[in-house]
């Protein structure tokens, strides 16, 4: 008996990007007007490739933790961003999270990479989830929880992602402090040295 396939129609295009598109400079001014001093720094980097030397734009911003959620809200209202990844740097007393967004994709050479850095103190590494705005952030947020020990407040799913279940708790491999180094040493294996002994 042939099985009947229910053909689902794709949902209506509700996530529309507004027609008005801001230039990189306008984006920086937009956020600077909104948050004034809470935007610690903003830099526009332009680089060119190919023989025609067409330029592409990267914006690097450092913002204060207190406005982070608000910032994401404003960004989503401006244009719905694509979150590529969230990277993390251990700066000693602070952990910096770098959220890489790409905005205004869909047209030739129009896309802008927006990298937003947020510093959280290592003594209280907490940041709010952005999964309510961008559900696709879940994977990268779970990874930051286990690799850098950032507590994501309100994360829908807080299980481990990459590390095995028997991996010791409270060891966060990407941290650079002495304690982590010691703990990692216990798990560390040099396969070349192991082979030499035999």
Partner 1 sequence: MSQITKTTYQLPIGPIHPALKEPVMFKFEIDGEKIIAVDVELGHVHRAIEWTGMRRNPIQIIYLAERICGICSFVHPMAYCRAVENACNIQVPERADYLRVVHGELERIASHLLWAGVAAHEIGFDTVLFLTWEMREKVLDLIEYLTGNRVTKAILMIGGVRRDIKPENIPKIKETLEYFKENYKKLSHVFLDDKTFKMRSQGCGILTYEDALRLCAVGPTTRASGVKKDVRVDQPYAAYSDLDVDYMTPDKRTGEINGDVYDRIIVRLLEVKQSIELIERAVDQMPTGDIMSEPKIPKLLNYIKKTAGEGIGRDEAPRGEVIHYIKFDGVNEQPFTWKVRASTYANILPWIPMLKGQQIADISIVAASTDPCMSCTNRVTIIDKNKKYMLDKEQLHKLSVEKTRRLMR
Partner 2 sequence: MAKGLPKSFKKSLWVFHCNSGSCNGCDIEIIAALCPRYDVERFGIKLVGTPRHADALLVTGPVTRQQAERVKLVNEQMPDPKVVIAIGNCGNTGDVFYESYNLVGPIQDVLPVDIHVIGCPPRPENIIHAVAKAWTKLETLEGK
Q: How far is CA 174 from CA 17, 146, 198, in A?
A: 36, 9, 32
Identified binder of partner 2 from the candidate list 55, 91, 167, 176, rule CB under 8 A:
167
Identified binder of partner 2 from the candidate list 7, 11, 164, 178, rule CB under 8 A:
164
CB 81 within 8 A of CB 103: yes
- Helix, strand or coil for residue 176? coil
CB 146 within 8 A of CB 89: no
- In the complex with partner 1, the residue whose CB is nearer, 128 or 138, is 138
Question: Which residues does residue 149 pair with via DSSP β-bridges, in sequence order?
Answer: none
Q: Which does 180 bind (CB under 5 to 8 A by kind): partner 2, partner 1, none?
A: none
Q: Of 96, 97, 79, 87, which is closest to residue 30 (Cα–Cα)? A: 79
Q: Which does 166 bind (CB under 5 to 8 A by kind): partner 2, partner 1, none?
A: partner 2
Q: Which does 191 bind (CB under 5 to 8 A by kind): partner 2, partner 1, none?
A: partner 2
Q: How far is the CB of 10 from partner 1 (least distance, A)?
A: 4
Q: Of 21, 28, 92, 26, which is closest to residue 63 (Cα–Cα)? A: 28
Region at 147 (left for phi over 0; alpha for psi -120 to 50; beta for the rest): alpha
Site string for partner 2, 9-48 (x = CB under 8 A): ----------------------------------------
Among 22-30, 95-103, 135-143, 189-197, which window interacts with partner 2 (CB under 8 A)?
A: 189-197
Q: Which does 124 bind (CB under 5 to 8 A by kind): partner 2, partner 1, none?
A: none
| DSSP secondary structure letter of residue 191 | H
Tell me how far the alpha carbon of residue 120 is from its chain's centroid. Answer: 14
Positions touching partner 1 (CB under 8 A) are 1-3, 5-8, 10-15, 45, 47, 49-52, 54, 56, 58, 60, 80, 82-85, 87-90, 98, 100, 102, 105-113, 115, 134-140, 160-164, 173-174
Tell me how far the alpha carbon of residue 83 is from its chain's centroid. Answer: 6
Q: How far is the CB of 161 from partner 2 (least distance, A)?
A: 12
Decide: is 173 part of the binding site for partner 2 (CB under 8 A): yes
- Helix, strand or coil for residue 168? coil
- In the complex with partner 2, the residue whose CB is nearer, 7 or 188, is 188
């Amino acid at each position: 008996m042939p099985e009947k396939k229910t053909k689902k129609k794709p949902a209506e295009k509700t996530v529309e990007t507004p027609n008005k598109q801001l230039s990189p400079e306008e984006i920086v001014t937009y956020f600077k007007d909104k948050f004034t001093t809470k935007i610690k720094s903003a830099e526009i980097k332009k680089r060119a490739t190919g023989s025609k030397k067409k330029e592409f734009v990267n914006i690097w911003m450092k913002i204060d933790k207190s406005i982070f959620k608000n910032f994401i809200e404003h960004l989503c209202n401006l244009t719905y961003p694509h979150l590529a990844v969230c990277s993390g740097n251990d700066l000693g007393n602070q952990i910096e999270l770098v959220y890489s967004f790409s905005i205004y994709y869909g047209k030739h050479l129009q896309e802008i990479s927006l990298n937003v850095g947020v510093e959280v103190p290592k003594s209280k590494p907490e940041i709010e989830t952005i999964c309510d705005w961008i559900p696709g952030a879940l994977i990268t947020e779970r990874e930051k929880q286990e690799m850098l020990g950032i507590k994501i407040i309100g994360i829908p799913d807080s299980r481990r992602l990459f590390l095995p279940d028997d991996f010791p708790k409270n060891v966060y491999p990407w941290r650079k402090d002495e304690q982590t180094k010691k703990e990692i040493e216990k798990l560390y294996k040099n396969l070349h040295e192991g082979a030499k002994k035999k």
